[in-house]
Structure 1
């Protein structure tokens, strides 16, 4: 379902996992440059760095949840549309739920920590740290947006996976798939006008769209999960 493109380079992550950087990240950087009018390279570098750190730590949350449950991690991939954590084998429903939710929870924790740091700076005496407070506020908002975004009930986002997993606790697998697919199909169709409205009102542009046909096949009970 993910097509990150060719890997540019790899390195060992904080947990010893392999991290692949995909070529499509260059497309994201180019889009940010275009949106800035090629006039603010510092802004582009800052946003890109914050995105990469936030997405990597999100995926690291998934990787940590795998490791503590004895599920080996194959790699983490960062690409223009986000990132994903690839593990070598699947797990039980409970294990997969824990793995899935840990990514968004990392973003929520980053939002809380950055917000607290910004609040301490803004509420304290003037110390020349206003620029730091501004960056912390931006980092906090970015991670809150990532937390909410990732919990949307569409595949391959964490929200879509978690919604489907939770449905299987109460319903037969086939029915759970069809319901998750139907909900995901509605969200996928509404995604495009929502994407346009978000860009017009906030200037945010996402290099991601949920796969409509995949959710259609899920709704028909024909998809492979």
Structure 2
């Protein structure tokens, strides 16, 4: 259960082990590195805290989706590229639908709550926290729902397809859509950087989608 790259572990809700991977150090340094003056450093650290908390709650949403269906959870891991919830047994497409959907649902709930509370807050600092939390969780929800593996949207898209067509066809369709997404990813990175100054650290796996299209093991 313990990861060789884990730097810290604690027990979360439902007694689920939560591990912090050492790659989080790189993520923190990367974000804080954009702070070129002492005045912006507190906001960078605040952003890191909000980001990690949002990802943790997202993964705990997945854990809840497992536990409510009687699926034991091994651990939740946060790392430089995001996080994952590891459960002890394989799941059906029907079980996966709830497990996968709960992550973005948590993010959308945080976005809605913070957006509703922000107009009533008079403190500039607390207002900043609510605005950043709302915007970040909306981004995480939308980003995770892209129909690409291993994002939640790719897994949910594949699970829903299994309800509509044969499993072989569902896998091939999901693989084809994923390959289209891979082809469009580089232009999306350029567009996001030029218009918003944002750099995607995630790149969808080409081979995984190619194997799905050919219905190989993935």
When normalised by structure 2's length, the TM-score is 0.93
Alignment of 1:191 onto 2:190: no
1:1-225 to structure 2, matched below 5 A, reads 6-37=5-36, 39=38, 40-121=40-121, 127=122, 129-224=123-218
Relative distance call for 1:80 and 1:38 in structure 2 (3 A) is farther
Pairwise CA distance, 1:145: 0.2
Q: Which runs of 5+ in 1 are unaligned?
A: 122-126
Does the CA-based 8 Å contact 1:75-1:85 persist in structure 2? yes
202-211 or 6-15, larger mean C-alpha shift: 202-211
1:71-120, Cα deviation, whole Å (9 max, x unpaired): 00000000000000000012232211001100000000000001011022
Contact 1:188–1:210 (8 Å) recurs in 2: yes
Shift of 1:30: 1.6
CA RMSD, 1 decimal: 1.6
Partners of 1:11 and 1:20 within 8 A in 2: yes
TM-score (norm 1): 0.91
CA contact (8 A) 1:73 1:85 kept: yes
How far apart, CA to CA, are the structure 1 residues paired with 2:75 and 2:68? 16
Which aligned segments of 4 or more residues in structure 1 are displaced greater than 6 angstroms?
none
Deviation at 1:15? 2.1
For residues 199 and 223 of structure 1, what CA distance do their matches in structure 2 show? Answer: 35
Q: How many residues align?
A: 215
Which shifted more, 200-209 or 134-143? 200-209
Gaps of 5+ in 2: none
In structure 2, what is the Cα distance between the partners aligned to 1:211 and 1:98? 24
Cα shift at 1:216? 1.1
Counterpart Cα distance in 1 of 2:78 and 2:43: 20
**Paired position in structure 2 for 1:124:** none
Deviations 1:124-154 (A, max 9, x none): xxx4x13211220111000000000000000
TM-superposed CA distance for 1:183, in Å, is 0.3
| Cα distance in 1 for residues equivalent to 2:4 and 2:113 | 33
Q: How far apart are residue 36 of structure 1 and its match?
A: 2.5
